[in-house]
Amino acid sequence: MKKLQNIPVDQRPREKLLAKGAAHLSDNELLAVVLGRGTAKHDVLSLAGKLTSLIDKKGIDLSIDDITAIQGIGQARAAGISAAFEFSRRRIRPEGIKIKSPVEVLPLIRHYSDRKQEHFISVSLNGANEVMAVRVVTIGLVNRSQVHPREVFADLITERAAALIVAHNHPSGDLTPSRQDQDVTCQIRDAGILLGIPLLDHIIFHTRGYYSFAAHDLI
């Protein structure tokens, strides 16, 4: 990862945001703006990268202690990050968004499309096909993510979900399902039938596009 001082001034996160808008920044760049600056030992983009990974892993369970465990982020900045995170969670939530077609969940997960590791994501729906929650189930390696149906359905059973959509990014950009992707889809589909929580689709995605198992009649 490049250090901030090695990036042209007009391409640095804050300057890019002011010139083009927040939508043009990566997650790391957005968090670099929130952090403001790094330390003598930790560049702000490096801190942002560590914080992004932490948020992917902890999700809504992110705590002040989790944040301050990152060297270079003290309590004051951790408090600001936690407050911003909680405000966003309260005000801008996916809950209640009605899904007419499974691929309509893509706007809720597209920020994972440029990750260097596979992120396996579940989107739970209620009986009205409204989004209940979006979760990162597992974070894997560069080319695969180990996932088991029990990890996918644990929270869905508790929240009494009526249906499920799963998705994962392909860091390589190749959207072709692997044999493992097909096997995992079958396992989750079969478990969903037994539990009464049907799998509506498995979507593989990248910044270049997406692949839908349902669209190819593979669910």
Kindly provide the b/e burial profile for residues 172-209, where b requires at least 16 CB atoms within 10 angstroms of the residue's own CB: eeebebeeebeebbeebbebbeeeebebbbbbbbbeee
Amino acid symbol at 210: Y
Q: With 70 as the cut, is the pLDDT of residue 144 above it?
A: no
The whole-number pLDDT of residue 93 equals 63
Question: What is the per-residue pLDDT across 179-208, written as a single tens digit (0 to 9) for each?
Answer: 999 999 999 999 999 999 999 999 999 988
Question: What is the per-residue pLDDT across 39-75, written as a single tens digit (0 to 9) for each?
Answer: 888 889 999 989 988 887 777 678 899 999 999 999 9
Provide φ and ψ at 136, rounded to 5°.
-85, 115
The whole-number pLDDT of residue 145 equals 61
Question: What is the per-residue pLDDT across 108-119, written as a single tens digit (0 to 9) for each?
Answer: 898 888 888 899
The whole-number pLDDT of residue 178 equals 92
The whole-number pLDDT of residue 181 equals 93
Question: What is the per-residue pLDDT across 21-30, written as a single tens digit (0 to 9) for each?
Answer: 988 888 889 9
The whole-number pLDDT of residue 175 equals 94
The whole-number pLDDT of residue 146 equals 74
> Of the ranges 13-17, 81-85, 193-197, which one carries the lowest mean pLDDT score?
81-85
Parse the chain into domains and list their residue ranges: 4-91, 102-212
Q: Packing angle between helix 179-195 and helix 149-158, nearest 10 degrees? A: 30
Judged on CB neighbours under 10 Å (0-12, 13-18, 19+), 217 is exposed
The pTM assigned to this predicted structure is 0.70
**Range 102-212 classified under CATH 2.40.37.10:** no
Q: Are 98 and 14 in contact (CB under 8 A)?
A: no
The whole-number pLDDT of residue 85 equals 80
The whole-number pLDDT of residue 56 equals 78
Identify the band that residue 95 occupies on the pLDDT scale cut at 50, 70 and 90: low
